[in-house]
Amino acid sequence: MQTLKQLLEEKGGSPIAVSPKDTVFHALGVMAQEEVGAVLVMDGERLVGIFTERDYARKVILAGRASKETPIEAIMTAKVAYVTLEQSLEDCMSLMTQHRFRHLPVLDGEQNVLGMISIGDLVKATISHQKFLIEQLEHYIAR
């Protein structure tokens, strides 16, 4: 199985983020453009929250808020669970399953944000690992 470092390198690019004072409408535009379901909320270099499509559905639409007037900081999840590069993809999967969310920022020892992984990234890595294992076994059997 890949390491978290390899997965982030393969994804490339910098973390997709908005500012706490940005509107929900702005964040949705960024998410659409980048084709992602979540953005990090960064105050300068500091991670202060996370905002995902589920927050939009529940805390904006259902709550009757206006996306052009609501700042992200009013509805983001401020207590963000994250992982560091030493953790395995299995660790990430169990955190997501345990907490029922689909995104995890990756931070280094100095609290710098290195990137974000989604459940989709983990599924992709798992499938390709399993494919590799099956090929190895088939090769072994055919010898």
Q: How far is the CB of 13 from ligand AMP (least distance, A)?
A: 19
Q: Does 39 bind ligand AMP (CB under 6 A)?
A: no
Q: Does 126 bind ligand AMP (CB under 6 A)?
A: no
Q: Does 54 bind ligand AMP (CB under 6 A)?
A: yes
Q: Which range touches ligand AMP (CB under 6 A), out of 1-9, 10-18, 45-53, 61-69?
A: 45-53
Beta carbon nearer to ligand AMP, 77 or 87: 77
Q: x/- binding map, residues 84-123, to ligand AMP, per CB under 6 A?
A: -----------------xxxx-------------------
**Ordered DSSP codes for the chain:** ---HHHHHHHH-SPPPEE-TTSBHHHHHHHHHHHT-SEEEEEETTEEEEEEEHHHIIIIIITTT--TTT-BHHHHSB-S---EETTS-HHHHHHHHHHHT-SEEEEE-TTS-EEEEEEHHHHHHHHHHHHHHHHHHHHHHHH-
Cβ-Cβ contacts under 8 Å for 96 (sequence gap 6 or more):
102, 103, 104, 119, 122
Q: Does 80 bind ligand AMP (CB under 6 A)?
A: yes
Number of residues near ligand AMP (by CB under 6 A): 13
| Residues at the contact surface with ligand AMP, assessed by CB under 6 A | 38, 50, 52-55, 77, 80-81, 101-104
